[in-house]
């Protein structure tokens, strides 16, 4: 009895926690400090069977196969050192915090670990701080938040959340930022309460994890999703590209983004978006002819591969544009071609910097992914344009087709009637076109139709609308044009066609045109009436010998 009481007294006084079991694995004794193994849970009562979940599995196994060797196991953020000692009458199990291993773990942790007293004076901080602060960790010890000269926003975040922990006794989690000259860091911080043996709050433990890359990735994914939505919703290409430049500039600190599109001939790059470049510089590079040594973008478009110029001042690719770049403080330019699925160059991304620098892998990954999305957007726009042309334009002449012309002419006609403005219509027919096809074949006929269409477009105003109605028959509407002026325009057009030199296979093909003119009057209520009267005037011109202009009688 005396020996048992003495043992319990001794074990209770030791810094470790102890559990004494008999051979049937019933609890004979358990010290208060053993609670560190139970993380504050109620201790098993003396005389009760050993709770199954009380000991880690590895410690349970040592009861069956004792080897008198210690076990170091993590539990609840601590490293616990276990020792199972077999006795003649049972087992003695001890547990204590492995402070040496814990200190080693803390100092090698990628997280910043700080302990504060309740006045928020730093009592401990690990060496991870040196990655983010030029001030040694030791100089933070014993200092308040103000004395440590932390950024105002960071101090406010720590103080606010510390007050929450002290008031509620519950851990707090928050996001904080640290802006350094080389980059912006984002931390996920956890502030935990620490209690003494009497259960009184004695300190706060702060664990700050650098989540800059994860944070940037989340922002990037959100921006990328928005870009995908814009493309899926057929937003205008100019809007998509402007947003894309801003998105990349938000991700790559200090970058000035440009997007250039290659023309159909594959010869020149035209600026599509560059929100951060100076207007004078944008004007200078718009319409840049691609080629070797034409800066980063011109060379990348020619080669079809990425061109990295980390120092414009010394790179031969910028020899002819060095002064232009220097005048706008541009010292590095990385360019990536935007490629279609078949490898055709559609345009280029250009990333400018105000200092010499080379890209990191993360930056290249962002630009490559965005380049792929831009290729999708550009090709989608090209397909939409091609479909629009098929639906609205004549494939041979490039003029409006009959359906599109009638839709637009009807709108203009109604506007003219509503506003009381003049409005005229020309119906045109190439004279003796069958003879052209018979004498020069359909290829010669196509040449004549194309030349005729081009002549009509160049003779009329940009506000006039010209259409190929079918075969050799054409029409044009002349908004804001009264009958007298329309007659003058028609005669000028007839003369231009008669003087038109059309060369085909070493032959010159002469053509003339017959034109009927009709103008809007108060009695005319439908476009179809105006077309009918212009057709009648055209018939008169052909009946009178062709190569002439006739005006419809008053409507």
Q: Which residues are catalytic?
A: 472
Distance, CA of 359 to CA of 306 (rounded, Å): 12
- Within 10 angstroms of residue 365's Cβ, the number of other Cβ atoms is 12
SS3 of 390-430: the string is: HHHECCCCCCECHHHHHHHHHHHHHHHHHHCCCEEEEEEEE
Q: How far apart are CA 446 and CA 351, in angstroms?
A: 47
Pairing of strands 473-479, 423-430: antiparallel
Phi, psi of 75 (to 5 degrees): -160, 120
- Residue 402 vs residues 148, 471, 514, 552: alpha-carbon distances, Å: 78, 11, 19, 22
- Nearest CA to 463 out of 521, 512, 423, 508 is that of 423
Is 480 within 8 Å of 422 (Cβ atoms)?
yes
The Cα 354–Cα 378 span in angstroms is: 29
Alpha carbons 464 and 400: distance in angstroms, whole number? 11
Nearest to 231 by CA among 133, 113, 376, 121: 376
Yes or no: say if 476 and 490 are a contact pair by the CB < 8 Å rule: no
The residues, any chain, with a CB within 8 Å of residue 39's CB and separated by 6 or more, are 75, 76
* Residue that the structure tokens 């410690």 belong to: 59
Q: Cβ(178)–Cβ(148) under 8 Å?
A: no
| Cα 364 from Cα 119, distance rounded (Å) | 46
Q: Which pair of structure tokens corresponds to residue 40?
A: 């504050």
Contact 99, 81 (CB under 8 A): no
Residue 473 near residue 403, CB atoms below 8 Å: no
**Secondary structure (DSSP) of 471-496:** TTEEEEEEET--HHHHHHHHHHHHHH
Give Cβ neighbours of residue 146 (< 8 Å, ≥ 6 apart): 155
3-state DSSP assignment of residue 525: coil
Tell me the sheet residues that pair with 309: 333
- Check if the beta carbon of residue 184 is closer than 8 Å to that of residue 212: yes
509 Cβ partners below 8 Å, 6+ apart? 436, 440, 444, 447, 448, 502, 503
Q: How far apart are CA 552 and CA 534, in angstroms?
A: 6
Task: Please provide residue 77's backbone torsions phi and psi, each rounded to the nearest 5 degrees.
Answer: 80, 0
Q: Which single residue is written with the structure tokens 């020996």?
A: 3
């Amino acid at each position: 009895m005396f020996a048992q009481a003495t043992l319990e007294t001794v074990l209770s006084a030791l810094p470790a926690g102890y559990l004494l079991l008999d051979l049937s694995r019933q609890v004979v004794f358990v010290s208060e400090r053993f609670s560190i193994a139970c993380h504050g849970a109620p201790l098993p009562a003396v005389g009760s069977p050993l709770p199954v979940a009380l000991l880690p599995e590895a410690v349970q196994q040592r009861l069956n196969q004792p080897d008198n060797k210690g076990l170091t196991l993590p539990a609840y953020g601590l490293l616990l050192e276990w020792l199972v000692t077999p006795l003649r009458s049972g087992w003695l199990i001890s547990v204590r915090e492995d402070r040496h291993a814990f200190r080693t773990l803390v100092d090698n942790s990628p997280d910043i670990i700080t302990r504060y007293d309740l006045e928020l004076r730093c009592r401990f901080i690990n060496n991870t701080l040196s990655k983010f602060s030029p001030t040694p960790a030791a100089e933070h010890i014993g200092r308040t938040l103000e004395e440590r000269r932390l950024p105002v926003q960071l101090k406010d975040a720590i103080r606010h959340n510390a007050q929450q922990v002290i008031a509620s006794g519950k851990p707090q989690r928050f996001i904080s930022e640290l802006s350094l000259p080389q980059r912006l860091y984002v931390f996920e911080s956890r502030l935990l309460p620490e209690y003494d043996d009497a259960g009184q709050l004695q300190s706060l433990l702060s664990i700050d994890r650098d989540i800059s890359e994860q944070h940037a990735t989340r922002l990037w994914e959100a921006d990328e999703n928005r870009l995908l939505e814009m493309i899926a919703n057929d937003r205008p290409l100019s809007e998509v590209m402007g947003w894309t430049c801003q998105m990349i500039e938000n991700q790559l600190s200090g970058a000035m983004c440009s997007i250039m599109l290659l023309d159909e001939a594959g010869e020149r790059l035209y600026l599509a978006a560059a929100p951060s470049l100076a207007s004078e510089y944008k004007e200078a590079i718009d319409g840049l002819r691609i080629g070797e040594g034409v800066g980063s973008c011109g060379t990348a478009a020619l080669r079809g591969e990425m061109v990295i110029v980390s120092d414009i001042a010394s790179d031969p690719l910028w020899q002819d544009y060095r002064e232009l770049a220097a005048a706008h403080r541009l010292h590095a330019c990385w360019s990536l071609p935007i490629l279609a699925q078949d490898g055709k160059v559609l345009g280029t991304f250009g990333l400018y910097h105000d200092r010499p620098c080379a890209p990191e892998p993360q930056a290249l990954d962002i630009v490559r992914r965005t380049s792929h999305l831009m290729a999708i957007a550009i090709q989608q726009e090209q397909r939409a344009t091609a479909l629009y042309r098929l639906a609205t334009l004549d494939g041979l002449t490039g003029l409006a087709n009959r359906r599109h012309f009638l839709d637009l002419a009807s709108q203009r006609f109604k506007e003219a009637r509503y506003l009381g403005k003049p409005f005229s219509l020309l119906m045109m027919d190439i004279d003796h076109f069958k003879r052209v096809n018979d004498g020069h074949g359909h290829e010669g006929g196509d040449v004549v139709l194309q030349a005729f269409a081009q002549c009509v477009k160049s003779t009329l105003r940009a506000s006039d609308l010209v259409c190929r109605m079918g075969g050799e028959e054409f029409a044009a509407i002349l908004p804001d044009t009264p009958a007298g002026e329309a007659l003058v325009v028609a005669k000028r057009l007839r003369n231009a066609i008669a003087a038109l030199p059309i060369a085909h296979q070493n032959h010159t093909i002469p053509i003339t045109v017959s034109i009927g003119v009709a103008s809007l009057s108060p009695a005319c209520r439908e476009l179809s009436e105006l077309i009918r009267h212009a057709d009648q005037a055209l018939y008169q011109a052909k009946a009178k010998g062709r190569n002439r202009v006739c005006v419809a009688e008053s409507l």
